[in-house]
């Protein structure tokens, strides 16, 4: 029984090492979880329209009055543009 468990453990370790080095474009940290680069320690941003927190890469960006804003969806971006007060111009 101990021999079977040892073989299974060695197979698992070999699988994890193979998985780590088989995809050179994506770094997979060595551990129990299967996290991809960019999703583990990313900071959340808040949508200026609805207040939802989300990952910046999954949002919709817009440059408004010289500022880059990120929205959770196109609907929130459109609502923000529709409801914002007009900026004071010359």
Query: Domain-by-domain residue ranges, the chain?
Result: 1-40, 45-83
Per-residue pLDDT of 11-57, as tens digits, reads 999 888 877 776 555 554 555 444 445 555 568 889 999 998 988 88
What pLDDT, on the 0 to 100 scale, is given for residue 90?
Answer: 43
Query: Phi, psi at residue 64, to the nearest 5°?
Result: -125, 120
**CA atoms of 42 and 64, how far apart (whole Å):** 24
Confidence of residue 3 (pLDDT cuts 50, 70, 90): very high
- Each residue of 4-15: pLDDT tens digit? 999 999 999 988
Q: Do residues 48 and 73 touch, judged by C-beta distance below 8 A?
A: no
Q: Give this prediction's pTM.
A: 0.48
């Amino acid at each position: 029984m101990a021999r079977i468990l040892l073989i299974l453990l060695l197979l698992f370790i070999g699988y994890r090492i193979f998985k780590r080095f088989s995809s050179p474009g994506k770094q997979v940290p060595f551990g129990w979880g299967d996290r991809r680069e960019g999703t583990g320690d990313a900071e959340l941003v808040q949508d200026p329209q609805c207040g939802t927190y989300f990952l910046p890469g999954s949002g919709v960006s817009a440059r408004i009055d010289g500022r880059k804003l990120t929205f959770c969806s196109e609907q929130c971006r459109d609502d923000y543009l529709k409801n914002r007060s007009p900026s004071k111009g010359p």
